[in-house]
Structure 1
């Protein structure tokens, strides 16, 4: 579909492949838009019964491309004397509402989605894995909600789903600490269905996809519709309306002089060095 999102079709299986390997498949906002467009195309294709979501290169998805996000949110610290004007709250809400709808698309897909997870899985990568139907990870996958250390501290898009998945106390722990954990821990938490050695990942995902594709088309979409309705009864639809407002507020914080300010530090040290400083700040 684009260089950043590759679509493969193999009989009744569609593969949506993130393709920014040099960035560990960190997604720009446009990349996420195109991924959702590809998802909807697979939903509309009557030949497709199952969708596999995976990433090229060393990682599944290392979150949003923060350089892109900060630029679009108007938070990129000025390197010139003229400081750019912050965008209005109304424009931020419009952008975040679209972002929330993109996340909802994975939860509400008419056809089953299997996430094939390896390498880094954080931020938007974690959100997608939490929202799709099934997930299989390699044992060495590095999961975390480290994006919460950027000033969110538990202000997330789909809190209802996270509480249902992890339980209230564990969900708060994952959000507030942002600690990293591996595939077997993700399986124990219920984030993924299986954690397998790296050499078994591809075959396991393909086996599950083939087995699911033996169901009738109407049965698959009816089963998913019933699952979606049950989730909505538990608040899974409302959470995205709350989530986009929370994200606008959470990315408009006033930080005090003694608090870690990612945007300020990034303007001085650069993005990669500032991520390291952020993690050191929270570990210490």
Structure 2
């Protein structure tokens, strides 16, 4: 039982939710380990992209292990410790791209985790749902917020209010996932996306992600101005000079992230 963190290739981290006997559900210990993994992705300059998946072939993640949380005593002051054990879907800012390789059930907290990733690959047998209303609670950690921005209104409301699941083909049709593949192709496909990203200038990639995600908060005029400011900063970077030189010399660039 663990959150496995490996670096199978230069610039690419692989995070595996390794609790297959519980459908890769999270108890408090696993949430803490996942938080530490996300912080490592954020802070390690050698990492340019990350892939997250679940162990086994049945489940990406079934979300929170409700039995463990029902019996866990929580002090009232924890409610205001908003930066403790931060997670990607809870608001931790990671501007490096995150790719999800969904290898089965993607439910509840697993689904809210998915909604906080950038690129999503699903195995053909994957299923998706926000079934919290069937348990007397709501889809937290951004579940009620991100889905409205990522799916058509009626589809998002159907998932939130009925708690019913959709299959991988339907998820692809509505743009919830980028691609549906055979199970044996899942991780290779996700890693291929990560390789393509890792080849690009890391500062520019992170800037592009931040601009895209902050755009709705800024409005068009603010977003356009933010673009101008960031591009002016990037033009002074070593990566911008390397990109120009490599283009002129017809070679692959060697970006340093500086």
- CA offset at residue 99 of structure 1? 8.0
Q: Cα–Cα, structure 1 residues 201 and 66, in superposed 2: closer, same or farther, change >3 Å? A: same
Is contact 2:99-2:190 (8 Å) kept?
Answer: yes
2:229 corresponds to 1:229: no
User: Higher strand proportion, which one?
Assistant: 2
Q: TM-score if structure 1 supplies the norm length?
A: 0.69
* 1:218-277 C-alpha deviation (Å, 9 max, x unpaired): 11111122123214448xxxxxxxxxxxxxxxxxxxxxxxxxxxxxxxxxxxxxxxxxxx
Q: Per-residue deviation at 1:160?
A: 3.3
User: 2:28 maps to which residue?
Assistant: 29
Structure 1, unaligned runs of 5 or more? 75-86, 235-284
Alignment of 1:77-96 (within 5 A): 90-91=76-77, 93-94=79-80
Q: Identify the residue that residue 145 of structure 1 maps to in structure 2.
A: 130
The 5-angstrom pairing of residues 247-266 of structure 1 reads none
CA distance in 1, matches of 2:179, 2:92: 19
CA shift in 2, pair 1:114/1:168, >3 Å:
same
Counterparts of 1:1-284 in structure 2 under 5 Å?
3-9=1-7, 10-57=9-56, 58-72=58-72, 74=73, 90-91=76-77, 93-94=79-80, 97=82, 101-104=86-89, 108-152=93-137, 157-233=142-218
Distance 2:34 2:138 in 1: 27
**Aligned-residue offset at 1:167:** 2.3
Tell me, what secondary structure is at the counterpart of 1:102? coil
* 8 Å Cα contact 2:89/2:115 also seen in 1: no
Which structure 2 residue ranges, 5 or more long, are not aligned?
A: 220-258
Give the equivalent residue in structure 1 for 2:250. none
Q: Distance in 1 between matches of 2:91 and 2:20?
A: 22
Residues in 1 aligned to 2:119 and 2:217: alpha-carbon distance in whole angstroms:
18
- 15 and 231 in structure 1: CA distance in 2 versus 1, 3 angstrom threshold: farther
Change (3 A) 1:13 1:106: farther
For the aligned residue pairs, the C-alpha RMSD in angstroms reads: 2.4
What is the CA-CA distance between 1:181 and the residue it aligns to? 1.5
| Residue deviations 1:135-192 (CA, integer Å, cap 9, x gap) | 1001110211122211136777343321111122221110111112211111112211
Counting matched residue pairs gives 217
Instruction: Deviation per CA, 1:175-210: give whole Å up to 9, x if none.
Output: 111112211111112211111121221221111111
Give the TM-score of the pair, scaled to structure 2: 0.76
